[in-house]
Structure 1
Amino acid sequence: MGATSGLEGKAIVVTGGGRGVGAACAAELARLGARVVVNDVDAAAAKRVAAGIEAAGGQAVAQPGDVSSRADAAALVGRCVDEYGRIDGLFNNAALMAVGDLGEYDEQAFRDLLDVNVVGVANCAAEAIGPMYRQGSGAILNVTSGAHLGLRHMSLYAATKGAVASLTYAWAAEAAGTGVRVNALSPFARGHMTRMTDDYLIAHGHADAPFAAPPPESNAPVVAYLLSDRAAGVHGQVVRIDGTRLSLMAHPAIIAPILDRPAWTADDVDRAFRELLGARQAPVGIAYTEPATTERVPPVPFD
């Protein structure tokens, strides 16, 4: 274990820890000295990962449960506090995946996604934030996705991950100055989600399948850093890791200039787009941008 990992003795909950990114990150957190509670809706998988950590000399317990249930989320955080006396970190990783175009919309599938990917994230964070506030420290790391920037065939999944990003921004604002940090991770890894996507694309004749995805373990160092004391200055950010590429994702922002006039008509709006706003439209799909600013930009008169 590294003496300067910033994770020694930390008590961390990992949701969706039974496989993939969750399992890889639970193992890495434990290797670096954290005490881990492994959660998964698949009880056998959670127990298997916890047992593997223990066999490797780390500390871990399994707490199976469905994060979409507030009671299960409360039991999960309660298990961490009962077992280790505190909760220092929450890796809010549990999620479901769906692939398909709008014409293939499945209402029940969307409700299932919302229950786990959004309600589940909120349930676990809501249970963790109280103990963290009381101890004056802690780190919540949600999991979003680059898909929320706009990716074909993934609108339902992307919508839930966009919601997670928005929750992250708002919770970070709420937690400012409390000692609790809230960030999000946009990971990428080979696993059941990429297999679902590959199967869909292949079945629909797309030549760009299968995806070339890195192993789940490639995400673990970033998760370990963001949950550690070494990331004390990182708050309210979405961090992207894509194999060998590390970056920050931009927050939503209002694009300057802001045009102002006493009243707007449809003709005025048409002229604004023809003369100025049309050229400032954001591109459709995943894009790259320079850092934005929080400085208030005064409106520009549009006569």
Structure 2
Amino acid sequence: MAILAGKAVVITGAGQGLGRAFATHAASHGAAVVINDVDEPLAKQVADLITLKGGRAVVSGGSVADPEQAEAMVDTCTAAFGRIDGLVNNAGIRYQAAIGVDDPRLMRELIEVNVLGTLYCTNAAVQSMRRGSIVNLGSVAMVGQPTALAYSASKGAVASITAGAANELHERGIRVNAVCPVAWTRMAAADTKAVPSGSPETIAPLVTYLLSDRAAKITGQLIRFANGRLHVMGQTSPKEPVVERADWDVEAIAEVFERQLVPEDPAWVRWGR
């Protein structure tokens, strides 16, 4: 039996790139899919492709930055397929700009789509989802990338949303994970320092797996999938040693940092710029 047989899934930003790959792959493994995109004709092309191959798909246009549109996507899913079992918060934007010359209007738009869109869609989905899986789109950019401050901030927020929602929804049987992929898409091309990499189709099997019951024990994880390498990323946590004193002054703090809390290279150095 197909791994997603009987499941209904909403995928945002699915008109092209990663979202299109996630939608077609999920449908090929039995899922009924709601294709969301701000470009509704593109979304319809993907839905038509799925139905032409014998799958089930419907379109729900509109921006994830509009909470009413987020609710409409879920309503479309339950009306068309009688249920919602999965949500892929894929919709997102990015651009490059140096700190100090960034455009506040673009900052706001990016946060509204990448962060509020993820919150709005998650909030809407869990109202109707009895059990299931939510997959967010994270990024290693969350550790900080030059000329991408707003985007990095948004992906840091997505990591927090993933951890918080996984914790809160665990008892309801709803799993929440984030995929941090590397694939050559239109968004990746907006990163002037990005190196061409694999196609969006190489990432899709991971998302299909996370949507399936085979991943029933996987929740609250940031999962890196890049250039044939798959691994779970560490969440923020205390690092040993934890130094305790009754009294602290500047000299004591300086001494501890110089002798005991020797920092390793920051994450943006370890992961590369």
TM band (smaller chain): over 0.9
CA shift at 1:282, angstroms?
4.6
Answer yes or no: is the 8 Å Cα contact 1:138–1:181 preserved in 2: yes
Bigger drift between 99-108 and 178-187 goes to 99-108
- The aligned residue for residue 165 of structure 2 is 171
Tell me, what secondary structure is at the counterpart of 1:131?
Answer: coil
Partner Cα separation in structure 1 for residue 59 and residue 110 of structure 2: 24
Is 1:217 equivalent to 2:208 in the alignment?
no
Decide whether aligned partners of structure 1 residues 282 and 177 sit closer, same or farther in structure 2, where only a CA change above 3 A counts: farther
Answer yes or no: is the 8 Å Cα contact 1:142–1:185 preserved in 2: yes
Partner Cα separation in structure 1 for residue 82 and residue 12 of structure 2: 19
Is 1:153 equivalent to 2:147 in the alignment?
yes
How far does the alpha carbon of each residue in 1:144-198 deviate from its partner, in whole angstroms, 9 at most, with x for none?
A: 1011122222221111011000110111111122211011111111111122113
Is 1:95 equivalent to 2:79 in the alignment?
no
- The aligned residue for residue 61 of structure 2 is 64
Larger radius of gyration, structure 1 or 2?
A: 1
- The aligned residue for residue 219 of structure 2 is 235
Aligned partner (choices 46, 49, 55) of residue 49 of structure 1: 46
Decide whether aligned partners of structure 1 residues 286 and 145 sit closer, same or farther in structure 2, where only a CA change above 3 A counts: farther
Equivalent residues in 2 for 1:98-247 (5 A)?
A: 98-132=95-129, 135=130, 137-198=131-192, 201=193, 211-247=195-231
- The aligned residue for residue 260 of structure 1 is 244
Tell me, what secondary structure is at the counterpart of 1:177?
Answer: helix
Return the letter of the residue paired with 2:39.
D
Equivalent residues in 2 for 1:263-282 (5 A)?
A: 263-277=247-261, 279-282=262-265
Count of aligned positions: 271
CA shift at 1:281, angstroms?
3.9
Counting aligned pairs with the same residue, the percent is 39
* Alignment TM-score, normalising by the size of structure 2: 0.96
* Deviating 4+ runs (over 3 angstroms): none
Answer yes or no: is the 8 Å Cα contact 1:151–1:286 preserved in 2: no
RMSD of Structure 2 on Structure 1 (CA): 1.3
Equivalent residues in 2 for 1:5-84 (5 A)?
A: 5-84=2-81
Unaligned runs of 5+ in 2: none
* Alignment TM-score, normalising by the size of structure 1: 0.86
Tell me, what secondary structure is at the counterpart of 1:62?
Answer: strand
Unaligned runs of 5+ in 1: 202-209, 289-303
